[in-house]
Structure 1
Amino acid sequence: MTENTPATGTAWLDPADDAPELTEELADVAEISIGGKVIRPATGYLGPNGVVKGRPPLRDRAKQQVTLRIDPDVLAKFREGGPGWQGRINAALRVAVGF
């Protein structure tokens, strides 16, 4: 017969423990729904530092998504700098065309 052993692994954590604290500011912009029916739509969104009212402002010209083939060594060089490599490529292209 086998012997009973205690369960192994980590203890269960309540996912609500990671939820942000419900503040007045958050409640003011949150969507309210009852039974799946939206009573009041959201009027803001959660930004990195808390609640931000409305949609983030667009620049004077929104960027356009394109597909571009770049030599692997050139791409590797831009990626060496870490996050933001797409923006660095954009800045280099602006310099190349004279902006």
Structure 2
Amino acid sequence: MSKVSKRPSVTMPSVAEDKAITAAAKADPDAQPLTPLQLKAMVPLKSLRGRPKSENKKMLVSVRYSPEVLAYFRSTGEGWQARMDGVLQQYVARHSRQA
């Protein structure tokens, strides 16, 4: 049994057809081709997605805290982990000066 390609073949336009397509595009005010400057300014969509990269990268660790500590910080609302990180940074700053 012969294999049949499920993909349709792509036929490139001839030079004359390409010129006609380009002329039609240039004649349409709503579909102007991009300028070389616009093309140069384009970036892949993949690079724009997601959270911006932080200069201060944080490390993922597993830590166990007492229930009272977690209950307190969680009760402060959204962003409790960042606040907990801030408290720990203050502790490190204070205690590293003493050494």
Which of the five TM-score ranges fits, normalised by the shorter chain?
0.3 to 0.5
Higher strand proportion (structure 1 or 2): 1
Higher helix proportion (structure 1 or 2): 2
TM-score scaled by length of structure 1? 0.44
